[in-house]
Amino acid sequence: MTFTINEQQFLAEAGIGRLATVSPDGVVQNNPTSYRVNADGTIDIGGMRMRASRKCRNVEVGSRVSFVIDQQVSSDPYVIRGIEVRGTAEALDDEEPPFPPQERAVIRIHPERIISWGIDGGSFDFTSRGAE
Protein backbone atom coordinates (compact mmCIF):
# COMPACT_ATOMS: atom_id res chain seq x y z
CA MET A 1 0.00 0.00 0.00
CA THR A 2 1.22 3.48 -0.86
CA PHE A 3 0.07 5.12 2.40
CA THR A 4 0.95 4.38 6.03
CA ILE A 5 -1.77 3.21 8.41
CA ASN A 6 -2.02 6.70 9.95
CA GLU A 7 -2.16 8.32 6.50
CA GLN A 8 -4.91 5.91 5.43
CA GLN A 9 -6.95 6.82 8.50
CA PHE A 10 -6.45 10.55 7.90
CA LEU A 11 -7.45 10.22 4.23
CA ALA A 12 -10.59 8.29 5.20
CA GLU A 13 -11.62 11.04 7.65
CA ALA A 14 -10.63 14.27 5.86
CA GLY A 15 -13.17 14.19 3.01
CA ILE A 16 -12.02 17.00 0.71
CA GLY A 17 -8.78 17.99 -0.97
CA ARG A 18 -7.45 20.38 -3.59
CA LEU A 19 -6.18 19.20 -6.95
CA ALA A 20 -3.65 21.34 -8.81
CA THR A 21 -3.03 20.84 -12.55
CA VAL A 22 -1.19 22.88 -15.16
CA SER A 23 -2.52 23.84 -18.60
CA PRO A 24 -0.37 23.47 -21.73
CA ASP A 25 0.35 27.23 -21.62
CA GLY A 26 1.56 27.03 -17.99
CA VAL A 27 -1.49 28.30 -16.11
CA VAL A 28 -1.94 26.57 -12.74
CA GLN A 29 -5.49 25.53 -11.85
CA ASN A 30 -6.41 24.45 -8.31
CA ASN A 31 -9.86 23.38 -7.07
CA PRO A 32 -11.39 21.65 -4.06
CA THR A 33 -12.49 18.13 -4.93
CA SER A 34 -13.94 14.98 -3.45
CA TYR A 35 -11.81 11.86 -3.64
CA ARG A 36 -11.54 8.15 -2.94
CA VAL A 37 -8.38 6.22 -2.14
CA ASN A 38 -8.36 2.90 -3.98
CA ALA A 39 -6.94 -0.38 -2.64
CA ASP A 40 -3.92 -0.08 -4.97
CA GLY A 41 -3.01 3.37 -3.57
CA THR A 42 -4.30 5.39 -6.51
CA ILE A 43 -6.69 8.26 -5.80
CA ASP A 44 -9.87 8.95 -7.79
CA ILE A 45 -11.09 12.53 -8.06
CA GLY A 46 -14.78 13.02 -8.81
CA GLY A 47 -17.07 15.86 -9.78
CA MET A 48 -20.51 16.76 -11.05
CA ARG A 49 -19.24 17.88 -14.49
CA MET A 50 -15.83 16.22 -14.53
CA ARG A 51 -15.60 15.68 -18.29
CA ALA A 52 -16.10 19.40 -19.01
CA SER A 53 -13.70 20.60 -16.31
CA ARG A 54 -10.42 22.38 -16.93
CA LYS A 55 -8.66 19.97 -14.56
CA CYS A 56 -9.78 17.05 -16.73
CA ARG A 57 -8.62 18.78 -19.92
CA ASN A 58 -5.26 19.57 -18.30
CA VAL A 59 -4.80 15.93 -17.26
CA GLU A 60 -5.70 14.73 -20.76
CA VAL A 61 -2.84 16.75 -22.26
CA GLY A 62 -0.32 15.40 -19.79
CA SER A 63 -0.36 17.68 -16.74
CA ARG A 64 1.41 16.38 -13.68
CA VAL A 65 -0.68 16.85 -10.54
CA SER A 66 -0.42 17.77 -6.89
CA PHE A 67 -3.23 16.81 -4.52
CA VAL A 68 -3.35 18.27 -0.99
CA ILE A 69 -5.60 17.19 1.87
CA ASP A 70 -5.13 19.11 5.11
CA GLN A 71 -6.81 20.08 8.35
CA GLN A 72 -6.30 22.65 11.07
CA VAL A 73 -6.88 20.58 14.18
CA SER A 74 -6.52 23.43 16.67
CA SER A 75 -5.64 27.13 16.64
CA ASP A 76 -4.37 27.34 20.24
CA PRO A 77 -2.09 25.51 20.25
CA TYR A 78 -1.65 25.66 16.49
CA VAL A 79 -1.94 22.08 15.24
CA ILE A 80 -2.16 21.11 11.57
CA ARG A 81 -1.91 17.87 9.64
CA GLY A 82 -2.01 16.95 6.00
CA ILE A 83 -0.75 15.06 3.00
CA GLU A 84 0.45 16.18 -0.41
CA VAL A 85 0.48 13.59 -3.19
CA ARG A 86 2.48 14.39 -6.33
CA GLY A 87 2.34 12.28 -9.44
CA THR A 88 0.80 11.57 -12.79
CA ALA A 89 -2.88 11.30 -13.58
CA GLU A 90 -5.24 9.96 -16.21
CA ALA A 91 -8.79 10.90 -17.14
CA LEU A 92 -11.09 7.87 -17.19
CA ASP A 93 -14.66 7.44 -18.43
CA ASP A 94 -17.36 5.11 -17.10
CA GLU A 95 -15.77 4.74 -13.67
CA GLU A 96 -17.61 4.70 -10.37
CA PRO A 97 -17.17 8.19 -8.87
CA PRO A 98 -16.31 8.81 -5.21
CA PHE A 99 -19.94 9.86 -4.59
CA PRO A 100 -22.84 8.38 -6.64
CA PRO A 101 -24.49 11.60 -7.88
CA GLN A 102 -21.24 12.61 -9.57
CA GLU A 103 -20.52 12.06 -13.24
CA ARG A 104 -19.10 8.64 -14.17
CA ALA A 105 -15.75 10.11 -15.15
CA VAL A 106 -12.80 10.43 -12.78
CA ILE A 107 -9.25 11.63 -12.67
CA ARG A 108 -7.06 8.83 -11.31
CA ILE A 109 -3.86 9.96 -9.58
CA HIS A 110 -0.86 7.65 -9.59
CA PRO A 111 1.26 8.77 -6.61
CA GLU A 112 5.00 9.18 -7.10
CA ARG A 113 5.86 11.29 -4.05
CA ILE A 114 4.04 11.58 -0.71
CA ILE A 115 4.70 14.40 1.74
CA SER A 116 2.90 14.41 5.07
CA TRP A 117 2.92 16.54 8.21
CA GLY A 118 1.31 16.05 11.60
CA ILE A 119 0.20 12.53 10.69
CA ASP A 120 2.86 10.35 12.31
CA GLY A 121 4.18 13.01 14.72
CA GLY A 122 3.80 16.67 15.68
CA SER A 123 2.35 19.39 13.41
CA PHE A 124 5.74 20.34 12.06
CA ASP A 125 7.12 16.82 11.66
CA PHE A 126 7.34 16.40 7.89
CA THR A 127 7.98 13.16 6.04
CA SER A 128 8.69 12.85 2.34
CA ARG A 129 9.12 9.64 0.38
CA GLY A 130 8.61 8.04 -2.98
CA ALA A 131 5.42 6.02 -3.39
CA GLU A 132 6.00 2.30 -3.06
Domain presence at residue 42: yes
Burial class of residue 122 in the structure, from the number of CB atoms within 10 Å of its CB (0-12 exposed, 13-18 middle, 19+ buried):
exposed
pTM of the model: 0.91
Over the stretch 95-123, which tens digit does the pLDDT of each residue have?
888 888 899 999 999 999 999 999 987 66
CATH number at residue 73: 2.30.110.10
Q: Would you say residue 38 has pLDDT above 90? A: yes
| Residue 110 forms part of a structural domain | yes
DSSP summary character for residue 52? G
**Strands, DSSP E only, in 52-99?**
65-75, 78-93
Torsion region of 41: left, alpha or beta (phi above 0 gives left; psi -120 to 50 gives alpha): left
DSSP 50: G
When divided into structural domains, the chain yields a total of 1
Chain segment 59-83, per-residue pLDDT in tens: 999 999 999 999 988 899 888 899 9
Give the domain range for residue 114. Answer: 5-127
Residue 132 lies in a domain: no
Q: Is residue 101 part of a domain?
A: yes
Mean pLDDT across the stretch 6-32? 94
